Amino acid sequence: MLIMFPMESDSTYNKYAYVESSEMDAYFRDNDIESVHFRPATTGKVTPLYLAKRNSYFLQRFAWYEDMRPVSPDDVFEVPQSQLDLMRSEIPAPEAAEASISAGRFDTGSLISLCGIMRKALLFNPENDLALADGRACYTPPPAAVDLARAGALLPMWWGDSGDVVMASDADCHGAESLGREFGLKSVVGSAGDFAAVDGCEPWGWSHAALRRLVMAGVRSEVLPSAASMDDIRRISHRSVSVSLLTRLGVSDDSLPVEARSREEALQAIGRFGGNAFIKLPWSSSGRGVFDVRRLNRSTLLRYVDGFIRRQGSVMVERSRNKVSDFAMLFRCAGGKAVFEALSGFHTDAGGRYLGNMIASDEAIVNHLGIDPRGWADPLAGAISSVIAPYYDGWVGVDMMTECETSGARLGIVPCVEANVRMTMGVVARYVYNRLGRNMLLSVKTDSQLPAGSVALSPVASSPGMRFVASPMAGSE
Task: List pLDDT tens digits, range 375-398.
Answer: 999 999 999 999 999 999 999 999
Q: How large is the average pLDDT for residues 46-59?
A: 63
Sheet bearing 188-189, strands edge to edge = 188-189, 165-166, 120-123, 200-203
Q: For residue 333, is pLDDT > 90?
A: yes
Q: How many C-beta atoms lie closer than 10 Å to residue 277's C-beta?
A: 23
Q: What is the pLDDT of residue 51?
A: 61
Q: Which of 389, 289, 297, 402 is nearest to 339 (CA)?
A: 389
Higher-pLDDT residue of 297, 4: 297
Q: Are 283 and 312 in contact (CB under 8 A)?
A: yes
Q: Is the pLDDT of residue 29 over 90?
A: no
128: DSSP letter: H
Q: Where are the alpha helices (DSSP H) in 401-456?
A: 425-436
Report the pLDDT value the prediction gives residue 258, as an integer from 0 to 100.
Answer: 96
Average pLDDT of 291-310? Answer: 96
Lowest mean pLDDT among 15-19, 304-308, 322-326, 435-439: 15-19
Res 62: pLDDT:
66
User: What is the pLDDT, as a whole number, of residue 57?
Assistant: 62
Among the listed ranges 101-105, 198-202, 460-464, which one has the minimum average pLDDT value?
101-105
pLDDT of residue 92: 46
**Angstrom distances, CA of residue 292 to CA of 170, 246, 277, 320, 455:** 43, 21, 6, 8, 35
Q: Which range among 118-127, 271-280, 456-465 shows the weakest confidence by mean pLDDT?
A: 456-465
**Backbone φ, ψ for residue 459 (5° rounding):** -75, 75
- pLDDT given at position 109: 41
Q: What is the pLDDT of residue 44?
A: 74
The answer, as to whether pTM is greater than 0.85, is no
Contact 147, 465 (CB under 8 A): yes
Give dist(CA 20, CA 116) in Å, integer: 25
Terminal Cα distance for the chain, rounded: 50
**Using CA atoms, how far apart are residues 477 and 330, in angstroms rounded to an integer?**
25
CA distances from 60 to 111, 114, 123, 221, 267 (A): 9, 12, 24, 23, 64
Q: Which whole number is the average pLDDT over 443-447? A: 87
Neighbours of 278 (CB within 10 A): 22
Cβ(413)–Cβ(331) below 8 Å: no
Output 16 or 359, whichever has higher pLDDT: 359
* pLDDT over threshold 50, residue 107: no
Give the Cα separation of 101 and 226 in Å (integer).
29
d(CA 280, CA 254): 18
pLDDT band for position 96 (cuts 50, 70, 90): very low
**Comparison of pLDDT for 2 and 399, the residue scoring more:** 399
As a whole-number percent, the residues of the chain with pLDDT over 90 amount to 62
Q: Is the dihedral of CA 282, 283, 287, 288 positive or negative?
A: negative
Question: Measured between alpha carbons, how far is residue 419 from residues 111, 244, 380, 476 in Å?
Answer: 39, 11, 11, 29
Of 425, 387, 423, nearest in space to 240 by CA: 387
Residue-level length of the chain: 477
Give the count of beta carbons closer than 10 Å to the beta carbon of residue 228: 7
Model pLDDT, residue 358? 96
